[in-house]
Amino acid sequence: MQLNSLKPAEGAKHAKRRVGRGIGSGLGKTAGRGHKGQKSRSGGFHKVGFEGGQMPLQRRLPKRGFKSLGQHLYAQVRLSELQALPVEEVDVQALKQAGLVGQQVRYVKVIKTGELSRKVVLKGMTATAGAKAAIEAAGGSLV
C-alpha cells in the first residue's frame, strides 16, 4: 500500500448538495426553501427561543428555585455520628477523614439528633442549643 493509493471507503464520501443550479437538479429556483416567508430569505433566521414575537416560553414560565453558590461550604453533623467517631477531639478535618462531611466543607454545625453518651471536645465548629447542652451533659465541650 502506498500513500498515493489510499482512498476512502466505498460510500463514505458523497457529493455536496448544489442548490439553485436549474430545474433539472431538483433544487432549482427556490433552492429547496419553499415560497416566501422568513425562512426563505437570506439572513432570515432568528435567535434560539424566538417565537415570532409571541412571549417566549422561557419568559412565560415563572422563575423559581435558587441554588446557593456557597452551599457546599456548610454541613450538619448529628450527635449519633459523633458518638460513632473513635476520636475524642473532633474538628472539621477529622470529620472529613471519617467521611461524614465533604472535602470542600468549611463550616460544620452539630445538631441534636440521636444520643451522645461519651465525652467529645469540638474544635472550630458550632452547635445548636440542644446539641450544646447534650455535649456538655456528657462531659464534653465546644472550643
Q: What is the pTM (predicted TM-score) of this model?
A: 0.53
Q: State the chain's mean pLDDT as an integer.
A: 93
Range of the domain at 89: 71-142
pLDDT digits (tens, 9 = 90+) for 70-97: 778 999 999 999 999 999 999 999 999 9
**Does some domain include residue 9?**
no
Looking at the structure of the chain, the number of domains it has is: 1
Share of the chain above pLDDT 90, in %: 85
122 within a domain of the structure (yes/no): yes
In a domain, 100, yes or no: yes
In a domain, 91, yes or no: yes
pLDDT at 2: 95
Task: Look at residue 130 and tell me if it is in a domain.
Answer: yes
Tell me the pLDDT tens digit for each residue of 112-140. 999 999 999 999 999 999 999 999 999 99
Query: At 17, is the pLDDT very low, low, confident or very high (cuts 50, 70, 90)?
Result: very high
Count CA atoms closer than 13 A to 117's CA, side-chain side.
Answer: 2
Alpha helical stretches, state H, 34-128? 57-60, 79-84, 92-98
Residue 26 lies in a domain: no
In this prediction, residue 23 carries a pLDDT of 92
Q: Is residue 1 part of a domain?
A: no
- What's the rounded Cα separation, in Å, for the pair 45 and 53? 13
Judge whether 112 lies within some domain.
Answer: yes
Return the CATH number at 134.
Answer: 3.100.10.10
